[in-house]
Amino acid sequence: MNIILLAPEDWLDENTVCLDGHRHAHIRGVLKAGMGDALRVGLLGGLRGCGTVIELSDEHTHLQVELVDPPLPRHPCGLILALPRPKMLRRVFRTAAEMGVAHLYLINSVRVEKSYWQSPLLQPDRVDAALTAGLERAGDTVLPQVHLHPRFKPFIEDQLPGLIGSSACWIAHPGAPEALAAQSGEGLIILGPEGGFVSYEIELAQSMGAQPVRLSDRILSVDTAVTAALSQSAISN
């Protein structure tokens, strides 16, 4: 945990917060903070800053807080991802939050199993918990917005053109002549499921404005592809 995230209900007054539960345990057991120690804190969805320990007990920690720093910059690209298997989904959520993705669109594909859409990890509280873990690692305060689209064709035909607007859109496809790392500017990145998109899906996305690009000469797992795509597009910008 590289930042302690604060919620509106934590505030005792305009300058003081009271923390219990896992954040209090982290302050005492991991950070081993004492009276007067300064900790990195941030308001969820808002400013970052410093919290000074002014009271420490077995049950709670009181911090005097000063928030002056803006959130970290957002990633220049939104991410559209064919819904991965549940055990991989949690890692994807954390990575998206760590990398500063503003919008994550989870979509269907021929190779996405129907049972994936019934995963408890898609419940809002579970999504927020995984995203929050990513923010805590990155020292950020702004959660990505997660959008669920369980029907592929309506999303690509009806939603994608409006999301692209005047920006670029790239769809990962092994063997594509252009590399994502060679592209620049803001846009959307579309990543397929294990085994990739089928030809029809690639062609439909292309017809709506997506440009095929390759991430690597190797075949990557979904979680590795997410990290590679977000890293390459961040560097190129």
Q: Mind listing the pLDDT tens digit for each residue in 93-112?
A: 999 999 999 999 999 999 99
Half-sphere exposure of 2 (CA within 13 A, CB side): 8
Full-model pTM: 0.93
Q: Which of 25, 52, 69 is the last residue of a domain?
A: 69
Q: At 13, which amino acid appears?
A: D
Its domain, for residue 161, covers 77-236
- The answer on 146 and 63 residing in a single domain is no
Which range is least confidently modeled, 55-69, 118-132, 172-186? 172-186
Q: Which of 24, 46, 69 is the last residue of a domain?
A: 69
CATH number, domain with residue 13: 2.40.240.20
Tokens representing 129? 């918990």
pLDDT on residue 234: 79
Decide if 48 contacts 3 (C-beta within 8 A): yes
- The answer on 94 and 55 residing in a single domain is no
- The answer on 98 and 65 residing in a single domain is no
More confident residue, 233 or 131: 131
Look at residue 236 and tell me whether its pLDDT is greater than 70. Answer: no
Residue 233: pLDDT band by 50, 70, 90 thresholds?
confident
Number of H helices, E strands in the chain: 7, 11
Residue 237: pLDDT band by 50, 70, 90 thresholds?
low
- The answer on 40 and 85 residing in a single domain is no
pLDDT on residue 185: 87
- The answer on 144 and 34 residing in a single domain is no
- The answer on 225 and 175 residing in a single domain is yes
Q: Which of 29, 49, 69 is the last residue of a domain?
A: 69
- The answer on 110 and 62 residing in a single domain is no
Q: Calculate mean pLDDT across residues 43-47.
A: 97
